[in-house]
Amino acid sequence: MTTHDLSPAATTAPGDAPAATPATDVHERLAASRAPLPASTKTHEHGVLHPRLRVPLREIALTNGERIAVYDTSGPYTDPAAATDVRRGLPAPRAEWIEARGDTEPYTGRPIQLFDDGLREAGQQQALRAHSVKLTRQPRRARGGANVTQMHYARRGIVTAEMEYVAIRENGRRAWMHEYLADSEREQRLRGQGLGASIPGIITPEFVRDEVARGRAIIPANINHPELEPMAIGRNFLVKVNANIGNSAVSSGIEEEVEKLVWATRWGADTVMDLSTGRNIHTTRDWILRNSPVPIGTVPIYQALEKVGGVAEELSWALFRDTLIEQAEQGVDYFTIHAGVRLPFVPMTVKRRTGIVSRGGSILAKWCIAHHRENFLYTHFEEICEIMKAYDVSFSLGDGLRPGSLADANDEAQFAELRTLGELTKVAWKHDVQTMIEGPGHVPMHMIQANMTEQLKHCDEAPFYTLGPLTTDIAPGYDHITSGIGAAMIGWFGCAMLCYVTPKEHLGLPDRDDVKQGLMAYKIAAHAADIAKGHPAARARDDALSKARFEFRWEDQFNLGLDPETAREFHDETLPKDSAKVAHFCSMCGPKFCSMKITQDVREYSAALAENGEQRVDSDAGEPSEADARAPARDLDAEAALTGMREKSAEFRAGGGELYIPIRQA
Amino acid sequence: MTTHDLSPAATTAPGDAPAATPATDVHERLAASRAPLPASTKTHEHGVLHPRLRVPLREIALTNGERIAVYDTSGPYTDPAAATDVRRGLPAPRAEWIEARGDTEPYTGRPIQLFDDGLREAGQQQALRAHSVKLTRQPRRARGGANVTQMHYARRGIVTAEMEYVAIRENGRRAWMHEYLADSEREQRLRGQGLGASIPGIITPEFVRDEVARGRAIIPANINHPELEPMAIGRNFLVKVNANIGNSAVSSGIEEEVEKLVWATRWGADTVMDLSTGRNIHTTRDWILRNSPVPIGTVPIYQALEKVGGVAEELSWALFRDTLIEQAEQGVDYFTIHAGVRLPFVPMTVKRRTGIVSRGGSILAKWCIAHHRENFLYTHFEEICEIMKAYDVSFSLGDGLRPGSLADANDEAQFAELRTLGELTKVAWKHDVQTMIEGPGHVPMHMIQANMTEQLKHCDEAPFYTLGPLTTDIAPGYDHITSGIGAAMIGWFGCAMLCYVTPKEHLGLPDRDDVKQGLMAYKIAAHAADIAKGHPAARARDDALSKARFEFRWEDQFNLGLDPETAREFHDETLPKDSAKVAHFCSMCGPKFCSMKITQDVREYSAALAENGEQRVDSDAGEPSEADARAPARDLDAEAALTGMREKSAEFRAGGGELYIPIRQA
């Protein structure tokens, strides 16, 4: 069923990439990206409804013997037991689930043409070279008119393997979390504000099914992407993060894009969008899909535009339709479709500071005005639905009219498009096609919530998927931060997936380090949002890390963090010695002056008080009256409230009273 | 009046700093820090009430001839016309204002002792060396019982030079902003949400006086810091950013700290806290103050602890009082005083995940329990006020019980202390002593607003000054981002100053690059907050940059940003050629595929429509009925609404219809 046809030419640089990387370097870097993270091992949970499911978790071994399991997006790459080879593609665990459902069939598929890779003249050397770089798989499609979407199954009451997989993955391993989340005062105090979210204490497969059936979550999972480890996008699940990769006419090549994919999933990308333009985009996509454990999204209009030589006016429904089928057969899990860029909305952008900044949006706007016709994606929307449901490609309804600057935020054009996306969501749902909605962009903090409110209202809680938003325009070079702020906020407000922004946004193409920096900012945003909205499994990791920090378990502090290597490097810069990794102080204050150490003394003293049945000091008892507050030198009230502590004080001093008594081994 | 006593020994490395930097390197780096930012010149505005005021602005020259003036914290260092020399200190523009008020007098001052620099044995070589590194100024104090605080003047109706300076600085140069903020639809749509702030359209000197009189703003301005360029901290002013510097027993030396100061103000630090511990802290502080154009804050308990050899129990009021006078004479502008760490609150920290993490808080908690007495800062608070008002040192009431982890956020201990700080604020105000309140720390997003609400309520709108807060604990190495999110939010909610966090937080001592990274994150947070709360002068810079971006004025886009050098570097990485700096495309999409370019075509087309009196297309007219929405293939309605556009469409195609027509020169 799978065709691996990889000639040696595969390792030559593709067409016009100016800075092509020798394949050996790529393979070396890939190998480096495959080492497990420090102190980490890959483990798996198994299904109940579908016992053969192997749902991955990353288990972090702490120095105190605890084992903390965290969500793992990195796929088989970080599993030394898995023999991955990007030249052959990943194993295909979903293949048997799909086949077992009996509603799909393999078929010959659309013949691959030179122009799929942006090549028009068969004589080109480049064309031949590119064409010989193959990593293809025979496509499947729904058997005669069947609907094979997860939403269709969900609405018929079927809990698919994908749904159970997602449920297990979202729950994580709760056993280790219990210790951290057991304190009832703390849990009450820190209880999240769901703002309309309805997250259950335990995610069951049935809950996943119900959310998918209602359209409140999607599981992007093309039947032609059997390598996928399924995940869910929805406001009642963990907030997800997307990383964009993709070559362009200016730089980058196939191998580099696969390397970025592996790298992005290592650092937590839940989905990856391949935004390639220029040459060899079909072939690049084959490589990416066959090597991707996460859902892959694309913007098919980019490839369609390449096929017409970059002239937007020459786009046609027939050509676009053919491109959708091409990509659906390859296994793309979600398509960005800018069907909301309607002709009447285009003039609304005239007075904008930055017009139309979405690539897809501007292409379609140009097509609309050149032909003086309604957007063909809008007029053919139901035909697109027919394709989507034959492969289970999810819609990501594109916000082609999103603001490109704060000045254009929440304007008439943006919200007119959003309302249209709401209408189209209902059309897609009529066909049981999974749908999410893309959102902005550039929005000042105080205008973010309105975006979420409008989206929930017009799109009936279909998952929202936003880029940022950037909360200021004045920091080119730091837009992972300007947008990380907005992303965290909108994630809390109900956004289901955050499209990352790298430091290179607006300036250049992200390299490997930029991809990591973008992901770090967005994993932070997503996690902060999970805590704020009250996801029951979110905060345990913060507590585990804080406990390690307080107990001077430096190694554990590093390893529980999002980026253990950087944390360790930073510590090494000031205190390089290994002994400092177990020291009861840190470099900020030095050995004589550690607040963490002092507070442990305080804790022991106070705990001793409590254990010995001393009356606990109440804050009210110790507080001065208003008259006292104006003359705080009188501390007699406090003194009075604290009789009995004097003795303990003496004990404390007798028992050491020093900064350097050994800490308790917890 | 000023004593410059700098022996050659000043350039030798101080006492026990392990990685002392040769002075020549420092001077080279300082020189590099003094070049004006790209395309920037220093200009000055003058006063009306006080005509000799010279209030600095940085003017950025754009390629289209515009000149954009922005707030400038960098002091004389970035002014090629100013001959700065860190070995002599800065000029002292405030000296004449202070003298003119006639209520202060120079005096001999407290004799400097070896132990001020943490040295106990006079025989030490180190001691002698350190003691020869002097950069001192004869102190002044209030004449016989006078009160010389800005608050005292304000309450008597006096608009000081400092107040007018602040007003001019806060307004900025409005002339250039008008073009950017003239569109009434846009200004209405983007209008900020003040959440209780009352920011006038124009900041007058009288408004500043009134805010200071009410205690809602402070102007930290010790009479012994005449080098200062005054600034205000208050919810109705621009959100400010503080950078912490300071050596510690583990690393760093005097010259490095001065270099960090210059570097920090270059990148936008509005105030700087010197958190030095260990040896030579008195001398380091002299150097910092004499070279600082921004207010300097300290935590005097750190130095007091050094004087008692690090043994918290040996601290006493007499020793602490002496330290306050020592630092007040040097010119420290605000003191962090942990007077709210009351004995009865200490046991409230027992069940915390991370106890007491504030250094000052833990020192005082230890003192309290060791002596079984109320915190001496609390009992002697009015005596501290007497010192503060003789020099105009502002209070920064420290949050010694702030949470050190999400788990401890908003707990009993934290809020008990906050209420005490509210009581102490009223005591300070009774003495007309300027006061701000420190806040946390580590707080999940959904619990941030409660911090602000409680602070405003209990502290009667005295300015809030928070560290972050960090919104998750799981990202050591990236806490400038975890906390930048919280900082932006609390800034919007009403926080007046944000204490930066660098990427090294929890891990090591920040180096020069860390200082910059921390400042970038926090300038972003502060600016995003200014926009959200509706500061009338905030958004113009975003608009200017967005306009430059849309018009492919790359140089202007770089130079209008917070960090022009990094933006340019990032652009160069992908497109190094100079011609790319004027290219009508960028590296993300390449020359054939630029949404910005396409949208300009769209704009011209639509604008032409409007100019020719065509009926403007209304979104409602073009929207399908609900029935249509379910069959979007029927675009007849939209077609009907758009009659007349067909002709324009033909015109557009005849007139080019290409991606590559030259852009209009705006």
Q: Does A405 contact B347 at a Cβ distance shorter than 8 Å?
A: no
Q: Does B382 contact A631 at a Cβ distance shorter than 8 Å?
A: yes
Average pLDDT on A62-74 reads: 97
In a domain, A570, yes or no: no
Asked if residues B424 and B385 have their Cβ atoms less than 8 Å apart, the reply is no
Count of pairs with CB atoms under 8 A, one residue in A, one in B: 592
Give residue B30's pLDDT. 72
Q: Which two tokens stand for residue B454?
A: 């409680």
Asked if residues B628 and B622 have their Cβ atoms less than 8 Å apart, the reply is no
Q: Does A189 touch chain B (CB under 8 A)?
A: yes
In a domain, B554, yes or no: no
Choose the mutation target among B71, B315, B474 for the interface with A, i.e. most A CBs under 10 Å: B474
How many Cβ atoms are within 10 Å of B38's Cβ, its own excluded? 14
First to last CA, chain A: 54
Average pLDDT on A393-410 reads: 97
Asked if residues B224 and B329 have their Cβ atoms less than 8 Å apart, the reply is yes
In a domain, B41, yes or no: yes
Q: Does B473 touch chain A (CB under 8 A)?
A: yes
Nearest-CA distance B530 → chain A (Å): 10
* Secondary structure of residue A40 in the 3-state scheme: strand
In a domain, B601, yes or no: no
Q: Does A250 contact B350 at a Cβ distance shorter than 8 Å?
A: no
Provide, rounded to the nearest whole percent, the portion of chain A with pLDDT above 70. Answer: 79
In a domain, B105, yes or no: yes
Q: Does A344 contact B410 at a Cβ distance shorter than 8 Å?
A: no
Nearest-CA distance A445 → chain B (Å): 6
Contacting residues for B532 by C-beta, under 8 A, at least 6 apart: A444, A445, A446, A471, B192, B193, B488, B491, B492
Write out residues 547-576 of A within 8 Å (CB-CB) of B: 547, 549-550, 557-558, 560-563, 566-567, 569-571, 573-575
Q: Look at the alpha carbons of A17, A23, A25, A26 in this order and tell me if their dihedral is positive or negative.
A: positive
Nearest-CA distance A225 → chain B (Å): 27
ipTM above 0.95, yes or no: no
A17-26, A600-609, B190-199, B559-568: which range is least confident on average?
A17-26
Please tell me which residue, A623 or B233, carries the higher pLDDT value: B233
Give residue A39's pLDDT. 97
Question: Using CB atoms, which residue from A313, A446, A562 is nearest to B475?
Answer: A562
Q: Does A546 contact B424 at a Cβ distance shorter than 8 Å?
A: no
Q: Which two tokens stand for residue B578?
A: 């100079």
At B63-97, the pLDDT tens digits run 999 999 999 999 999 999 998 888 889 999 999 99
Please report which confidence band the pLDDT of residue A612 belongs to, taking 50, 70 and 90 as the band edges.
low
Please report which confidence band the pLDDT of residue A119 belongs to, taking 50, 70 and 90 as the band edges.
confident
For chain A, how many residues are written?
Answer: 666
Nearest-CA distance A258 → chain B (Å): 18
At B633-644, the pLDDT tens digits run 333 333 333 444
Q: Does A610 touch chain B (CB under 8 A)?
A: yes
Asked if residues B470 and B482 have their Cβ atoms less than 8 Å apart, the reply is yes
Question: Using CB atoms, which residue from B506, B590, B603 is nearest to A350?
Answer: B603
Give residue B600's pLDDT. 66
- Give the residue numbers spanning the domain of A154: 27-110+149-536
Please report which confidence band the pLDDT of residue A619 belongs to, taking 50, 70 and 90 as the band edges.
very low
Write out residues 506-525 of B within 8 Å (CB-CB) of A: 506-509, 511, 520-521, 523-525
Residue A440 has pLDDT above 90, yes or no: yes
Q: Look at the alpha carbons of A506, A512, A517, A522 in this order and tell me if their dihedral is positive or negative.
A: positive
Q: What is the mean pLDDT of each run of 10 residues along chain B (666 residues)?
A: 32 33 62 89 96 97 97 96 86 97 96 81 52 75 96 98 98 94 95 96 97 98 98 98 78 70 96 88 91 97 92 95 98 98 93 91 92 96 98 98 97 98 98 98 98 98 98 98 98 98 93 95 98 95 96 95 97 75 58 61 68 44 32 36 47 41 30
| Cα-only R_g, chain A | 28
Please report which confidence band the pLDDT of residue A624 belongs to, taking 50, 70 and 90 as the band edges.
very low
Phi, psi of B435 (to 5 degrees): -145, 135
**Most distant CA pair in chain A: distance in Å?**
96
Asked if residues B434 and B212 have their Cβ atoms less than 8 Å apart, the reply is yes
Give residue B276's pLDDT. 86
Average pLDDT on A546-564 reads: 95
Q: Given phi > 0 = left and psi -120 to 50 = alpha, else beta, which region is A150?
A: alpha
Residue A31 has pLDDT above 90, yes or no: no
CATH number at residue B302: 3.20.20.540
Residue A526 has pLDDT above 90, yes or no: yes
Q: Cα separation of A234 and A211, whole Å?
A: 8
Please report which confidence band the pLDDT of residue A596 belongs to, taking 50, 70 and 90 as the band edges.
low
Nearest-CA distance B265 → chain A (Å): 17
Question: Using CB atoms, which residue from A525, A626, A638 is nearest to B485?
Answer: A525
Going by C-alpha positions, the residue among B646, B573, B249 that lies closest to residue A371 is B646
Helix H or strand E encompassing A139 = none
Phi, psi of B59 (to 5 degrees): -105, 125
Q: Which two tokens stand for residue A147?
A: 């609907």
Q: Cα separation of B577 and A78, whole Å?
A: 39
Going by C-alpha positions, the residue among A365, A432, A372, A422 that lies closest to residue A397 is A422
Give residue A34's pLDDT. 84
Q: What is the dihedral of CA A467, A470, A475, A481, to 10 degrees?
A: -70
Q: Does A372 contact B447 at a Cβ distance shorter than 8 Å?
A: no
The bridge status of strand B394-397 relative to strand B435-439 is parallel
Per CB-CB distance under 8 Å, the chain A contacts of B409 are 189-190
Going by C-alpha positions, the residue among A270, A325, A323 that lies closest to residue A292 is A270
Asked if residues A360 and B593 have their Cβ atoms less than 8 Å apart, the reply is no
In a domain, A73, yes or no: yes
Per CB-CB distance under 8 Å, the chain A contacts of B482 are 524, 528
Q: Cα separation of A353 and A8, whole Å?
A: 50
Choose the mutation target among B524, B549, B566 for the interface with A, i.e. most A CBs under 10 Å: B524
Residue A229 forms beta bridges with which residues? Answer: none
Give residue A117's pLDDT. 83
| CB crowding B415-426: b at 16 or more within 10 Å, else e | bbbbbbbbbbbb
Q: Does B549 contact A472 at a Cβ distance shorter than 8 Å?
A: no
Write out residues 626-645 of B within 8 Å (CB-CB) of A: 626, 629-635, 638-639, 641-642, 645
The answer to whether A594 is annotated as binding is yes
Chain B residue at shortest CA distance from A305 = B593
A315-324, A427-436, A580-589, A627-636: which range is least confident on average?
A627-636
In a domain, A338, yes or no: yes
Choose the mutation target among A350, A474, A480 for the interface with B, i.e. most B CBs under 10 Å: A474
pTM assigned to the model: 0.89
Average pLDDT on A191-214 reads: 97
Q: Which two tokens stand for residue A103?
A: 């509603």
Residue A78 has pLDDT above 50, yes or no: yes
Peptide bond into B469 cis (omega under 30): yes
Q: Does A19 touch chain B (CB under 8 A)?
A: no
The answer to whether A338 is annotated as binding is yes
The bridge status of strand A240-245 relative to strand A497-499 is parallel
Per CB-CB distance under 8 Å, the chain A contacts of B405 are 542-543, 546, 549-550
Residue B656 forms beta bridges with which residues? Answer: none
At A447-490, the pLDDT tens digits run 999 999 999 999 999 999 999 999 999 999 999 999 999 999 99
In a domain, B512, yes or no: yes
Q: Does A528 contact B444 at a Cβ distance shorter than 8 Å?
A: yes
Going by C-alpha positions, the residue among B246, B243, B249 that lies closest to residue B270 is B243
The count of structural domains within chain B is 1
Residue showing tokens 């507070």: A599
Nearest-CA distance A103 → chain B (Å): 27
Helix H or strand E encompassing A57 = strand A54-61
The bridge status of strand A394-397 relative to strand A464-467 is unpaired
Q: Does B9 touch chain A (CB under 8 A)?
A: no
Q: Which amino acid is at A569?
A: E
The answer to whether A236 is annotated as binding is no
Nearest-CA distance B107 → chain A (Å): 30
Write out residues 46-85 of A within 8 Å (CB-CB) of B: none
Q: Which two tokens stand for residue B234?
A: 């208050």
Average pLDDT on A408-431 reads: 98
Residue showing tokens 């701000």: B436
